[in-house]
Every structure is written in C-alpha cells, then in structure tokens.
Structure 1
Amino acid sequence: MISIFTVYSDICKISAPAHWQIRRFKDIITSSRSGIWGDEEKGDANDIVCYRVADFDYSNLCLKFDNITYRNVLPEQANEKLLSKGDLLLEKSGGGEKMPVGRVVLVNSPLRAVCSNFIQALSVNKKQSARFVLYLFHSIYSNRINTLFFNQTTGIQNLKTAHYLAQEIFLPPYSEQEAIAAYLDKECEKIGRKIELLERKADAYSRLRRSLINRAVTCGLDPNKTFKTSKSSICTEIPSHWQEKRIKDIFTEKSIKGYPNEPMLCATQSKGVIPQSLYENRVVTAVSGLENMKLVDVGNFVISLRSFQGGIEYAYYRGIISAAYTILELDTNNSRDYFRHFFKSLSLIKLMKKCVTGIRDGQNINYTTLKYEHIPIPPTDEQKEIAAYLDEKCAKIDAILEKINTEVERLKELKRSLINEVVTGQRVIETESRS
C-alpha cells in the first residue's frame, strides 16, 4: 500500500533514524470502537460518564472535567464501549473551519466512562507508548494531514476513520518512544506555563477594557456628577442630566433587499461587520438567494443570532448579510461612535441575554422585546467626548493585547514545531538506546 501521508512520510524518510520502523496505525491499535450517546440521564444505575468533544483540553492533549455529562446506557451496550485510562479519543465528526475534525486527546482519568458517538476510542498496543502515539497524532493534525481524510456532504466534517488508521507511520523502539514522550511532556509543560501566564495577563487587560467601557457608558466621565434613579434595567442610576429612551425611539429597523451584487458581509465579535473575504482569509463561495439578503450601510448596527454573547456589531463596510439578522440605523441626533462602544458594554450584553428566544438557550435575539427596553442617553456632545476617551483607552489596551497574543501564537508555533520535529526524527534527543 502506498501511503498518502505525502508531506509527513517524505519528512520521515529523510530524517527518521534508520532503526525506526514503518508501521500502520491500525497495526499498533488493539481496539478501535465507536462511542455511544445513550439516553437522557435517569438517576439510576445505568447512568455513566460520557465524554464529549467539548471535554477535549486540546492545549494539554487530555480531558477536562469541569462540566461532565452523564448519559443513560444499558450495561450490555456500555461494557463494550468502556474506556480505560491511557486510551486515546479521536474526534471523528464535527469540526469546523477554524478547528477541523481529527483532534486526539488522552484519557487521563480512571472514571468508569464511555465517549459520545462523535468520537472513536483507541486502545494502543502495550508494546507502544500511548503518549508517543498521542504526540504523533498531534503532529499529523497540526500539519493538517487529517484533512486528506474528510467526507463532508453536510455542514459536519466526518473523518474516514478506517482509511485514516490504515496509513503508514514511522515508529522508534518502545524505550525511545517513552523517552521522547517524557521529553515532550517536560518541554511542552514549560511552554504551556508561559502561555498560561500570558493568557491570564491578556484576560486581565480584556476585563479592564470591558470595565472602562461599561463605566463610561453608564456613569459618564465627570467624577463630580450627581445621579438620579434609572428606569432602565441596564443600571440602577444614571447621571442626573442624562435622558432615557427606548431603543426603538433612536434606532430604525432596516430591511432593504434586492442588492445581490454587493459584497457579502459577516458579523464578528472581534472585528464588527466586515466582508467575509476579510474574515480569517475565508474564501467566499457562491450562495443562492442573494436577492433576499439584507443591505447594510457603513455605520449601521447588526444584531446577529449570537449577539447575546458579545453585543451588537458595528458595520465598517457596505454589503449584504443574512436576512435572519436585524439591521439598525441610528438617528442623526446621536453619535455612532458612542453606540459602537455602548453596544459592546457588559450591561447591554446582560440585557440582551434576557431577550432570547428559541428552543436552545441563546438561539435568537428577540428584537421585538429588546426594542422596548430603555437605555441611558447622554447629551450628544458628551457622547462624542466619551467615544473619544474610549477610543484612546481601548487603542492602548488593544496594542498591549496584540503584543501578548503575538507572543502566545509564537509559543504555540514553537510547541507545534517541537513536537513535529521530535516525533518525525528531525530533532534527535538523547535516550538510553542512543547513548
């Protein structure tokens, strides 16, 4: 059989030590079994822990246990699906554009458990190191070689598991596998600690940013102001000279269609409303029904299906967007820049969470309810002053966050490269078998 791990195999053939062997994944796996979802938890003896892809702590290549799911599975079904500590869990269905299907983590708990039907459980031969094989899977995934084995006929990515596991790999002797895994455990932990510290720092700056915005748009900037009781559910009191109006009184809902030649937009929580072509280098594919999409002008605000998570998005470009979204136009007596900040404030997001409809929590924002909510309105000049203040403060914080995120990405790439070089034999480490 000719392996189609073209990039990976070519690297290994050049760099792998001569004593490494060519094997296939399926030759070193003693058990490959699909997961089971079972029934809703019933509180009886058949309830069992069921790990989901949401439980993957992929940064550490293991499971996390902060939100364990229990499912009801009959013993005769559960017994053949039970997991053991040291098994590997292969994500075979799901994935997405940013995180394609095919991630693998280690079962790091002795709990009696099964995995969901979106996961394939793998038991590695005792003559091989499960942790080395785990790092090997990580190397293959980080090189996106797993994408060669997709079968995507719907919105869900499916990994052709049998085909994937039939591919050739290069393996050192067991003792060398264990030494490599121990080396990577140590080095990846060092990198992981640095990343964790930077992410904590970034989180602190992000919280500061949110706090600055929220205080400015609910209390203003003058420390000597007096307050009055608010009738808004956003805050209990507001500056005495501020007004309060319903959202519908200062925003007009737009629903203009019939502009199929305008660029397609997407609403993002990090960048506002921008062309799809600018979002994560996304390739825009042909879409039918463009006549029915809504027109968005620069300066409009867009309520997406997930606005309850990150506020209402500001449109930086003209184009068309899904008809499921609500498009709002601010009247000329108020500042767009002020509301660009206001609609990202914690108080506004908290309010939006109360205006949710749908079978699943957070499925849709009900603008019919939201538009009757009162919000605090500073005088126009003060709106502009607050917007300028927040633009300056947020720009400084954003610059710091960009530096932190750049360093985090550098460390993640360092970790990825390290794993890749060691498990493919490009970087040789000292082991007992080599010393």
Structure 2
Amino acid sequence: MISIFTVYSDICKKSVPAHWQIRRFKDIITLSRSGIWGDEEKGDANDIVCYRVADFDYSNLCLKFDNITYRNVLPEQANEKLLSEGDLLLEKSGGGEKMPVGRVVLVNSPQRAVCSNFIQALSVNKKQSARFVLYLFHSIYSNRINTLFFNQTTGIQNLKTAHYLAQEIFLPPYSEQEAIATYLDKECEKIGRKIELLERKADAYSRLRRSLINRTVTRGLDPNVSLKPSGLRWIPYIPTHWEISRVRNFFEYRNEKVSETDFGPLSVTKNGVIPQMENVAKSLAEGDTRKKVCKNDFVANSRSDRKGSCGTSPLDGSVSLIYIVLEPKNIFPNFVNYYFRSNDWVEEFYRNGKGIVADLWTTNYVTMRNIEIAVPPMEEQKEIAAYLDEKCAKIDTILEKINTEVERLKELKRSLINEVVTGQRAIDTESRS
C-alpha cells in the first residue's frame, strides 16, 4: 500500500518523527456511513435536520447554520445515519475545477441531524483526536492529494471513498495529537480573525465602488443639478437635461456567427470581458458556433442571474451564442461599461427577464431593446467615464492589496497546518498536553 505522504515529497517522509506510527484512515474510524436525502419536509415528527455540502464552512473547518435544510426521514432509516458532535463529514460527490470534491469539516453541533447522500459521515476512534484527523484531511486536500482518488464519468466528481480511506497515514500518540490540534486551533483562529477583518474591509470598499458607480451614472457629477421625474421605475429622478430613449436607439445589435479560429474566445464575467482561459477554449466545438465581438462592443449574458456578467470588450473576439452583443452608436462605450453594470440597471435587466428559477432566467435582446434608459449628452458621458475610471482605479488598487494580503494569510494557514500535521514543524507538545 502506497502511503499518501509519499505523494507530498521525499522530505515529508524524512521529517516524520520516529515515534509516529503508520496507520490507515479506516483503522482509526469506528463508523463510516453514507448520508441520506429522504423526502420533502412534511411538518411531522420525521422531519430532521439534513446537512448539505452547502453548509460546509470550510474556512473554519466546521458547519454553518444560517440556511439549515429539513428533510423527512423515517426513524428506522434516520437512526442508523444520525450524527454525533465531533463526527467528520467528508464530501464524496460534487466539486469542480476550482474546488474539487473531498473537503472535510467537523460536526460542531449536538443537534439531532443526518447528512445528505453527497456526504460520508465518519466517527473517529476515541483513541485518536478527531480534530487532529480533521487538520490532517485539510492538509491532504490543500495539497490536492484527494484528486488521486476521483472517479469522474460525468460533470460530477466522485471520491472513491473506500480507496481513499484505505490509505496509510502517519499518526503521533493521542496526547501529541491533542496538543497539535490545540495549537492549530489557536494559531488558525488568529489568522482567521485577520482574514475576516480584511474581508470586511474589502466588502466595504466593494460596496463603496458599486454605490459610486450607481449614483454617478444615474445623477451625473453635479450634486446641485436640477432633477425631474423620469417616469422610469428604476430611476425615479434624473437631471433635467438628460435624454430618455429606448436601448435600441443607442446600439446596433450584432448577431454575426464566427469561428473561434478567426475570433479568439472571450469570457464575460462580473468583472467585465476578458480573454478565455486556454484550457477552456480548447473544449469548444469547431465551425461557426460563436458570436462575433468587436472592440468597444458591449456584451451581456442574456441568462441574467443578478451577477452582472457583462462589460465593454477591450478587444475583438467571440462569445457564446447566448450572449447579447451590442455595437454602441450614439453612446460612449466606456460610459456604457459603467452604466449597464450599475446595480439599478442590473435589477431592471433582471426584472424584464423570464424563467422558472434564477439559474434559468433569461432576458433576451427583443425585450432588452425596448427598455428605456436615461442618458446624458456625449461630453458629459465622457466626463462621467473619466471620473469613474480615476475613482475606481484607486479603489481597485486598495482591493488588490487587501486581496493579496488575504491570499498570503490563507497560504500561511495552509502551510502551517501542513507542516505541523506531517511533522515537518515541531511544536512544544509538553506544555500543551
């Protein structure tokens, strides 16, 4: 049996203290059971809390309880699936390229509950520290060792749980496990508090940015400008000299099919239009299966999900056929870039759509072209765009610095956990045991 730790590196194996023992995950797990999804909530005695992967607070390696799901499970089914506080929940199905399947969190509530069928519940032997094992799982996941145990035949990643839990690991004595877990609890909490403060700061700057854009593109730069009722539900009042007209009067609809060979593929995100990643582009079909985009065209995702996935393209290229591509005619492209990404417009765009659920919600151009918008004269559009370029650039610089520091702290946390649970970094276990 090949040890998981041989995949890390040779230095990892050399650094493991001599008194640590080689065990297998399944040898230290007293109970492993799959989850159950049950039936819809019925309001009777069989309704029970059912934790989902969406309830994983992975940054803190525990569960969050802000959107708990109840399912109806018969007692004879629920009893053998019940969770205990201190159990570990292993994500065995789901995941994606950026966040692959295999995350593990601790059950941090005594509440009577089960978990969904996308999760494997693990009870750790009382002779081992569940918190240490949790950190060990985190180390393995952060180094993407879990990806060696995938079985992916569809878009869903499935973890080969039995194979994964059969792997060998290195374990220190129980007292040392507890000391290590206590140390990591304390140090990770310190790092977590710093990250939380930075993320709050970033959120405040992001809200300021959105507010600045929204107010400027709907009121202009003069705080004392005279206003008039607009008759528009999404902008009740506008400067008296602004023009109200339908979207179609400011754009030409571009609907030319092209090949990605001639026009490189673009991605439309909430941050604007950017070149598509190479590994994604290679998966696209050949032939004229894309829609042409020219520099300064405005591109919007017709499947509007309130994320504001749109923007003025900085270059020529192509997008999926589901996107709306507009060529500005009587409107300044950079003004459009801010205007159609403002909160009020995004909500208006969404309100005009149709669909069953949010993910299938669509606002097509036939509808969009008739939405009325309020637009200032061309020179004022340019002034507004220049002003927002300057202000947003300053905010973006601040956000970049904050995000860089957050990533540095996350990497520090990842490295700390990895080094301690693999024995690469010794800690004073005597004073903590």
| TM-score normalised per structure 2 | 0.95
Contact 1:233 1:374 in 2 (8 A): no
Q: Letter of the aligned partner of 1:382 in structure 2?
A: E
Q: Letter of the aligned partner of 2:143 in structure 1?
A: N
Shift of 1:290: 4.2
Contact 1:353 1:362 in 2 (8 A): no
Contact 2:298 2:333 in 1 (8 A): no
Partner of 2:386 in structure 1?
388
After superposition, residues 85-96 of structure 1 pair within 5 angstroms as 85-96=85-96
Partner of 1:296 in structure 2?
293
Q: Distance in 2 between matches of 1:189 and 1:153?
A: 38
Contact 2:294 2:316 in 1 (8 A): yes
Contact 1:352 1:365 in 2 (8 A): no
After superposition, residues 95-134 of structure 1 pair within 5 angstroms as 95-134=95-134
Rate the CA distance shift 1:293–1:251 in 2: closer, same or farther, 3 A.
Answer: same
Q: Distance in 2 between matches of 1:306 and 1:414?
A: 37
Q: Letter of the aligned partner of 2:401 in structure 1?
A: K
Partner of 1:30 in structure 2?
30
Partner of 2:167 in structure 1?
167
Q: Distance in 2 between matches of 1:245 and 1:196?
A: 45
Q: Letter of the aligned partner of 1:263 in structure 2?
A: G
Contact 1:50 1:68 in 2 (8 A): yes
Rate the CA distance shift 1:312–1:9 in 2: closer, same or farther, 3 A.
Answer: closer
Partner of 2:258 in structure 1?
258
Q: Letter of the aligned partner of 1:316 in structure 2?
A: P
Shift of 1:95: 0.9
Rate the CA distance shift 1:308–1:253 in 2: closer, same or farther, 3 A.
Answer: farther
Contact 1:311 1:348 in 2 (8 A): no
Deviation per residue, 1:163-213 (Å, 9 max, x gap): 111111100001100000000000000000011111111111111111110
Q: Distance in 2 between matches of 1:364 and 1:431?
A: 56
Q: Letter of the aligned partner of 1:420 in structure 2?
A: N
Q: Letter of the aligned partner of 1:223 in structure 2?
A: P
- Hey, which bits of structure 1, 4+ residues long, moved more than 4 A? none
Q: Distance in 2 between matches of 1:431 and 1:422?
A: 11
Shift of 1:362: 3.9
Partner of 1:337 in structure 2?
334
Contact 2:41 2:70 in 1 (8 A): yes
Partner of 1:205 in structure 2?
205
Q: Distance in 2 between matches of 1:382 and 1:240?
A: 13
Rate the CA distance shift 1:6–1:320 in 2: closer, same or farther, 3 A.
Answer: farther
Q: What count of residue pairs does the alignment treat as equivalent?
A: 430
After superposition, residues 226-305 of structure 1 pair within 5 angstroms as 226-261=226-261, 262-270=263-271, 272-277=272-277, 282=279, 284-304=281-301, 305=303
Rate the CA distance shift 1:11–1:124 in 2: closer, same or farther, 3 A.
Answer: farther
Percent identical: 70
Tell me the SS of whatever aligns to 2:26.
helix
Shift of 1:24: 0.7
Rate the CA distance shift 1:395–1:260 in 2: closer, same or farther, 3 A.
Answer: closer
Q: Distance in 1 between matches of 2:125 and 2:13?
A: 24
Partner of 2:424 in structure 1?
426
Q: Distance in 2 between matches of 1:391 and 1:184?
A: 44
**Equivalent residue in structure 1 for 2:375, among 374, 377, 380:** 377
Partner of 1:46 in structure 2?
46
Tell me the SS of whatever aligns to 1:308.
coil
Shift of 1:356: 3.4
**Equivalent residue in structure 2 for 1:403, among 401, 409, 418:** 401
Q: Letter of the aligned partner of 1:66 in structure 2?
A: D
Tell me the SS of whatever aligns to 1:85.
coil
Q: Distance in 2 between matches of 1:434 and 1:362?
A: 50
Compute the RMSD of aligned alpha carbons: 1.7
Tell me the SS of whatever aligns to 2:288.
helix
Deviation per residue, 1:27-62 (Å, 9 max, x gap): 111111111111111111111111111111111000
After superposition, residues 310-325 of structure 1 pair within 5 angstroms as 310-325=308-323
Shift of 1:363: 2.1
Rate the CA distance shift 1:434–1:115 in 2: closer, same or farther, 3 A.
Answer: closer
Partner of 1:74 in structure 2?
74
Contact 1:296 1:320 in 2 (8 A): yes
Structure 2, unaligned runs of 5 or more: none
Contact 1:9 1:169 in 2 (8 A): no
Deviation per residue, 1:232-277 (Å, 9 max, x gap): 222110000001112222223222113241222211112x222212
Contact 2:304 2:363 in 1 (8 A): no
Contact 1:311 1:345 in 2 (8 A): no
Rate the CA distance shift 1:399–1:173 in 2: closer, same or farther, 3 A.
Answer: same
Tell me the SS of whatever aligns to 1:3.
coil
